[in-house]
Chains A and B, each alone.
Chain A
Amino acid sequence: MESLGVLLLYPVNAYLEQELDRRCRLYRFWESPREEFLRAHAGAVRAVVGNANYGADAALIDALPALEIVASFSVGIDRVDLAKCRERGIRVTNTPDVLTDDVADLAVGLAIAVLRRIPQADRYVRAGLWKSRGDYTLTTRFSGKRVGIIGLGRIGQAVARRVEAFDCPVNYHQRTEQKSVYPNYTYYPTVVELASNSDVLVVACPLNASTRHIVSREVMETLGPKGVLINVGRGPHVDEPEMVAALADGRLGGAGLDVFEDEPNVPEALLGMDNVVLVPHVGSGTYETRKAMADLVLGNLEAHVLSKPLLTPVV
């Protein structure tokens, strides 16, 4: 695919960038001012590669008349204007499956970290407080807690399998019940009812118009002062200001957050809280998975160029 003009929106991954440079005609969007770049190269760009935070929105798509494919280095493609792509006949691919385990591992890791206060206890030790103040405060058991999952897709199911090994009863909400497939999991027709019957609520659904702010003030208040929210989806899944207030007031017990509404900005108030664990969108951030994601992006681009079926098409 040497003649494929690929526009990389951001330096998302060194290996991916190297391979794109080696195998295609790579343009790096961040190297020159946007308008200048588009004037010079817009006509040569046939493919765009972005990630969770940098996508092909309507304005960019309109500016690239030769665009044929958007290959996202992410599973979530909420930043890609899918309607526009469909209109223009542009293909879109993402990177599902290869990151499922990592995101699920992080969700469970965050849940245990929040309930057992692992980062907080680590800070306690590093600050010399174990010596000066004595034993750390008691926390609450993770095993057996009721885990509610919003979205029982690949990631949701992977989370469910893991928490089952801790004897956690699994509840879920999504647009359709799947009783015959998951007889052991309890379906709830609304997120509020799910929250009412869960101790740990995990966001694992895609972000789209109907799931924006799916974790509302009501949901968080229902989850309650002993409830814990785990977000490995997208920041906009949660009403962030309401969440911050609920955590500060104690109306929501705790949270483990990998994503935020306006990354890399994290609400100041969260930075000082002891009942939250905050990580910088690392859900798929392992060497193993990022390489697999990069190979999937490259595989999709190659299939496109050879007019073969795309490996993981969304559109």
Chain B
Amino acid sequence: MESLGVLLLHPLDTYLEQELDRRCRLLRLWDAPLDRRGEFLRAHASSIRAVVTGGGSGGGGDAALIDALPRLEIIACYAVGFDRVDLTRCRERGLRVTNTPGVLTDDVADLAVGLAIAALRRIPHADRYVRAGLWKANNGHYGLTTQFSGKRVGIIGLGRIGLAIAKRVEGFGCPVSYYQRTRQQQAYPNYTYLPTVVQLAADSDVLVVACSLNEQSHGIVSREVIEALGPRGVLVNVGRGAHVDQPELVAALAEGRLGGAGLDVFEAEPDVPEALMALDNVVLAPHMGSGTRETRKAMSDLVLANLEAHALSKPLLTPVV
């Protein structure tokens, strides 16, 4: 794919960038200063046939970008979430879109469980306590937390990631319930379906967001859901910040209406509400769900393989559109 002009929107991964540079005709959007991006795009529009974008704060692929690239054929997302890509516009233009599902499932599920245990057992808080010399200063005292094993886990979205989380928490004796648009009784007889997110929250001790972000799931964790989860409930978000009503979440945590949270994603990354930083009952992570060397290499290879398949007019490996 040497002649494939690829526009990389953000410096996502060194290996990916090196390979794109080696195997394609790579353009880096950030080479142009912010106020000269429009010029940059106009200058190179005729050669850009592919865009590579990330998820979270590295995400892009909106209508404005698409419209600025008349020769664009494919948008390859280095992420499983493609909520920043304007799919409607892509369909209108006949553009292909790919993402990186599967390869990051285990890592995101591991982090979800790790955050749940870290939140319930207060591992980061305890670590801070020891490092600050308080264990010694307080004569060996540390407060009690609450057991993780056996807690009722509610999962919003029983897709690849949701199922991987379910499988893991079953190892801790946690009963699993879930909500999604369609029930899957036969497939998962051990998991209890709840028809609304509020009911799921009411019946759960730990509520995990593991669904994709789209119009219906935007703000799916509302104030009502948060209150149903309650003063002893814990929210774990490894989906997208926009899944949750963030101001409500912050208020509920600060006021004790919600027991705790483990958050890997936020509404406007990398901004994290100041109020959360002061709380001991939350664990904060900088969108690192797929942030392992193993997975990022696999994601890079999947992006490259999709681009290559496209260049060779072969079936895309992981198309969204």
- Which one of A135, A138, A162, A277 lies within 8 Å of B292 (CB-CB)? A138
CB-based contact B114/A105 at 8 Å? no
Please count how many residues in chain A sit with their CB below 8 Å of the partner chain's CB atoms. Answer: 56
B285 to chain A, nearest CB (A): 5
B95 to chain A, nearest CB (A): 27
Please count how many residues in chain B sit with their CB below 8 Å of the partner chain's CB atoms. Answer: 57
- Which one of B136, B169, B272 lies within 8 Å of A265 (CB-CB)? B136
CB-based contact A141/B285 at 8 Å? no
B250 to chain A, nearest CB (A): 14
From residue 95 to 142 of chain B, which have CB atoms closer than 8 A to chain A? 106-107, 109-111, 113-115, 117-118, 121, 123-124, 126-131, 133, 135-136, 139-140, 142
- Chain B, residue nearest A10 (CB): B140
The verdict on B23 contacting chain A, using a C-beta distance below 8 Å, is: no
| 9-residue interface stretch from B37-45, B60-68, B143-151 | B143-151
10 closest residue pairs by CB, A with B: A165-B171, A109-B117, A112-B114, A101-B149, A119-B124, A143-B106, A130-B270, A264-B140, A279-B126, A280-B135
From residue 53 to 77 of chain A, which have CB atoms closer than 8 A to chain B? 53
The verdict on B167 contacting chain A, using a C-beta distance below 8 Å, is: yes
- Known A105-B172, A141-B106; contact A122-B284, beta-carbon cutoff 8 A: yes
CB-based contact B277/A126 at 8 Å? yes
- Chain B, residue nearest A258 (CB): B126
Inside 8 A of B218's CB, which chain A residues have their CB? none
CB-based contact A136/B147 at 8 Å? no
The verdict on A263 contacting chain B, using a C-beta distance below 8 Å, is: yes
Q: How far is A144 from B107 in the complex, measured between Cα atoms in Å?
A: 10
CB-based contact A125/B277 at 8 Å? yes
- Which one of B143, B149, B271, B294 lies within 8 Å of A141 (CB-CB)? B294
- B residues lining the A interface (CB < 8 Å): 106-107, 109-111, 113-115, 117-118, 121, 123-124, 126-131, 133, 135-136, 139-140, 142-150, 167-173, 269-272, 277, 283-288, 291-296
A278 to chain B, nearest CB (A): 4
- Known A140-B293, A143-B110; contact A131-B270, beta-carbon cutoff 8 A: yes
Inside 8 A of B126's CB, which chain A residues have their CB? 278-280, 282
CB-based contact A138/B296 at 8 Å? yes
- Chain B, residue nearest A111 (CB): B114
CB-based contact B285/A118 at 8 Å? yes
Q: How far is A33 from B131 in the complex, measured between Cα atoms in Å?
A: 31
B232 to chain A, nearest CB (A): 11
Inside 8 A of A277's CB, which chain B residues have their CB? 123, 127
Inside 8 A of B150's CB, which chain A residues have their CB? 101
Q: How far is A188 from B124 in the complex, measured between Cα atoms in Å?
A: 33
- Chain A, residue nearest B264 (CB): A121
Q: How many A-B residue pairs have CB under 8 A?
A: 184
Q: How far is A74 from B170 in the complex, measured between Cα atoms in Å?
A: 27
Inside 8 A of B270's CB, which chain A residues have their CB? 130-131, 134
CB-based contact B123/A131 at 8 Å? no
Inside 8 A of B171's CB, which chain A residues have their CB? 161-166
Q: How far is A253 from B272 in the complex, measured between Cα atoms in Å?
A: 30
| 9-residue interface stretch from A146-154, A235-243, A285-293 | A285-293
The verdict on A142 contacting chain B, using a C-beta distance below 8 Å, is: yes
CB-based contact A118/B131 at 8 Å? no
CB-based contact B117/A105 at 8 Å? yes
CB-based contact A53/B140 at 8 Å? yes
Inside 8 A of A109's CB, which chain B residues have their CB? 114, 117-118, 121, 123, 148
The verdict on A261 contacting chain B, using a C-beta distance below 8 Å, is: no
Q: How far is A130 from B277 in the complex, measured between Cα atoms in Å?
A: 12
CB-based contact A266/B130 at 8 Å? yes
- Which one of A53, A116, A119, A141 lies within 8 Å of B128 (CB-CB)? A119
The verdict on A81 contacting chain B, using a C-beta distance below 8 Å, is: no
A214 to chain B, nearest CB (A): 24
Q: How far is A164 from B167 in the complex, measured between Cα atoms in Å?
A: 10
A284 to chain B, nearest CB (A): 10
Inside 8 A of A110's CB, which chain B residues have their CB? 123
- Chain B, residue nearest A127 (CB): B277
The verdict on A209 contacting chain B, using a C-beta distance below 8 Å, is: no
Q: How far is A30 from B267 in the complex, measured between Cα atoms in Å?
A: 52
